[in-house]
Structure 1
Amino acid sequence: MTTANVHSIETMGLVDGPGVRTVIFLQGCQLRCIYCHNPDTWKAGYGKEMSVDELIKMVKRYKFYYKDNGGITVSGGDPLLQPQFLKEFLKACKEEGINTAIDTSGHGLGDYDDILKYTDLVLLDIKAANEDKYREITKRKSDKFFEFLEAVKRNNVDIWTRHVVVPTINAEEKQIVEVAKFINTIPNVKKVELLPYHNQGAQKYKSLDMKYPLEGVQPLDNDSLDYFNKVLHKHLDIIEEEYSKTG
């Protein structure tokens, strides 16, 4: 039976997709983002080993709370690094009439088409709108991201985009305008979110005996976030929609 290495599970999530959701965080990530607040999810092969049947049995207990637009979100790390499990788990959820979402940076393994045919929503983390800034933030090339993005387009899956705004890194109008223009090239985007950088993960780096990459960088304040949101939406072509897809 297919199993996955699970980092943690949040049973009543309210921010990783629409409605009330069970959020399963899988272990493993190929990126090394300078603002990552969960470096403990990076290494593959760690965490609790769980089967598809075990997880389905658990999420079914919460179906009552999902109502019309809640469901499950598989996050990480990056769930695309455990593709066989992800496909089988999403398929099992759809067979139970449970709405499915994946929260990903688009760096993974496997046949994305097989995964996406059981996916109702992709929460897509857009690190940057140009290659130099992408490499600065993630320490990786963007080719795998675009491979996944093309698969999402091909499968006509709804997308919510997310972009983290970090002082001293990308908290400037030019960068936000570039992100808006990039999002305009992606069909099926239903919602766009700017997420403020916070330094709450600094303690994790210390506990893992790792250097925190953004030592001394202050969290993005609310006024700055409001300003960048205005800049973003001024340059967006899409009209954001309420998400109501079920089952």
Structure 2
Amino acid sequence: MNITGRVHSVESCGTVDGPGVRFVVFMQGCPLRCQFCHNPDTWDTNKGTIYTPDQLMSEIIKYKSYMIFSGGGVTFTGGEPLLQADFILEMSKRCKKEGISVAVDTSGYVFSDTVEQVLENTDLVLLDIKNYDPEVYSRVTGVELAPTLKFLDYTRDKAINTWLRYVLVPGLTDNLESVRALAEHLKNYSNISRIEILPFHKMGEYKWEALGYEYKLYDTREPDKKLLEEVKGIFLTSGIPLAN
């Protein structure tokens, strides 16, 4: 079987999607419709550039020395990379053979036998939890929260190193009781080594306009320092270190 993947874009020297210098692969396609998404151009599963594993690996290998020297690696993100689990599995195996670390940035919504195999070949999961209140989560993303929490349980059961990511959006994900409940829940996960709080920004707003999508956050401001520090303080009660 000839495996191919639809890739939105690549970034050769990323520094924010995992440790060290990283080759970041933005996969095409996503089942979520997050109101604050800054890459809505990755949603459509029929778009993107088709790559074979050989083609993508030939690009990745050029930066192998930078990745290994810095303690970095390859990060598969999106979109939702696990929508193309067959391709990610093949790429992950190839990276591992080259001694290149693999990270997967995911919403945790997609799960299958193939996803299990991907995780066996993954060194780090970047898990995005959009909110801990099921109603708010559904309103924010258009899908249910439960699959993501099951995915989180799986990473714990398999002792997969996980960084949790939380996007802080004033008026949307700043429901502090829910943040407190999430922080309390995370005390049960010794595999989570880091929490990243990502302040909402509007850098992707122009993409919504260009695509003709309805953008509901025109009037939403970036979180102020007081809110950000309050949320950081809540997450610290989980006992898990926060990213700087």
Deviation at 1:179, TM superposition (A): 2.2
Displaced runs of 4+ in structure 1, greater than 4 A? none
Deviation at 1:22, TM superposition (A): 0.3
1:81-92 counterparts in 2 under 5 A?
81-92=83-94
Paired letter, 1:103: D
Match of 1:100 among 95, 99, 102: 102
Change beyond 3 A, Cα 1:215–1:122: same
Is the deviation greater in 97-106 or in 52-61? 52-61
Match of 1:115 among 105, 114, 118: 118
Aligned to 1:135: 138
Q: What does the per-residue CA deviation read over 1:94-147, in whole Å, with 9 as the maximum and x for residues that have no partner?
A: 000000000000122532221111000000001111211211211111232234
User: Where do 5+ consecutive residues of structure 1 fail to align?
Assistant: 242-247
User: Where do 5+ consecutive residues of structure 2 fail to align?
Assistant: none
Change beyond 3 A, Cα 1:171–1:147: closer
Is structure 2 residue 70 aligned with structure 1 residue 71? no
Paired letter, 1:88: E
Paired letter, 1:43: D
1:1-247 counterparts in 2 under 5 A?
1-66=2-67, 67-111=69-113, 112-233=115-236, 235-238=237-240
RMSD value, Cα: 1.8
CA contact (8 A) 1:164 1:195 kept: yes
Structure 2: how far apart are the matches of 1:18 and 1:4?
25
Deviation at 1:172, TM superposition (A): 4.3
Is the deviation greater in 37-46 or in 8-17? 37-46
Structure 2: how far apart are the matches of 1:174 and 1:225?
15
CA contact (8 A) 1:129 1:182 kept: no
Paired letter, 2:212: D
Structure 1: how far apart are the matches of 2:214 and 2:223?
21
How many matched pairs? 241
Give TM-score scaled by structure 2 length.
Answer: 0.93
Give TM-score scaled by structure 1 length.
Answer: 0.92
Say which SS state the counterpart of residue 189 (structure 2) adopts.
coil
